[in-house]
Amino acid sequence: DAGITQSPRYKITETGRQVTLMCHQTWSHSYMFWYRQDLGHGLRLIYYSAAADITDKGEVPDGYVVSRSKTENFPLTLESATRSQTSVYFCASGAGRENQPQHFGDGTRLSIL
Amino acid sequence: GQNIDQPTEMTATEGAIVQINCTYQTSGFNGLFWYQQHAGEAPTFLSYNVLDGLEEKGRFSSFLSRSKGYSYLLLKELQMKDSASYLCAVKTGRRALTFGSGTRLQVQP
């Protein structure tokens, strides 16, 4: 089915570990985004990508790394996880046209102990 | 900086009408989106405004005043399934969105 999928849905890890969250979309959307959602802060942009091999920082990029070697995939890596990165992470994609919305994946709930 | 304000919580009665306000002060403006998010689920798109005025889509309507930095989402004939968080988001730059903290709406019988 067409859509945007994230994996894993739930992840528990320890501080200092590296963890990668996966995002895959089948719409061939140019733009992809990573957000984190925390109580009291709403959704905050971490990184986004306009096309393969083009990425840019968002509001809260520190401690995260992204890559986009293929249009359909946009993995997010926490190189050395910290407790403050415990959050729900949402991936989104969009066609990039002005009135076109972003479409969100189901999210990854990440806990760092 | 970017500042988007929404009420934190609202309560309304089934069958009634509720208006959720959003005020914004942003360094750019390329449109305003409203999303619905049920607990534990992904945000889903509801509406988009870029010009002043009202956009109607079934039971949901959204209004924008760019000069006032103000928008509202109007939900008519409330149903229990409308209990959710409603997120206001402004497209401030190239393609990314800046979100408010969301308004949690509880619909009571």
Chain A closest-CA separation from residue B109 CA (Å): 27
Q: What is the pLDDT of residue A1?
A: 57
Asked whether B89 and B6 are in contact (CB, 8 A), the reply is no
Q: What is the pLDDT of residue B82?
A: 98
Q: What is the pLDDT of residue B100?
A: 94
Q: Looking at A7-16, B39-48, B87-96, which range is the least confident one?
A: B87-96
Residues of B in Cβ contact (< 8 Å) with A106: 41-42
Q: How confident is the model at residue A34 (pLDDT cuts 50, 70, 90)?
A: very high
Q: What is the pLDDT of residue A67?
A: 95
Residues of B in Cβ contact (< 8 Å) with A98: 30-31, 50, 91
- pLDDT over 70, % of chain B: 98
pLDDT tens digits along B33-56:
999 999 999 999 999 999 999 999
Residues of A in Cβ contact (< 8 Å) with B55: none
- pLDDT over 90, % of chain A: 88
E strands in A18-75: 19-25, 31-38, 42-51, 54-57, 64-66
Which of B34, B95, B101 is most worth mutating to test chain A (most A CB atoms within 10 A of its CB)? B95
Q: How confident is the model at residue A40 (pLDDT cuts 50, 70, 90)?
A: confident
**Residue B106: C-alpha distances to residues A24, B79, B88, B100 (Å):** 33, 10, 17, 18
pLDDT at B4 exceeding the cut of 80: yes
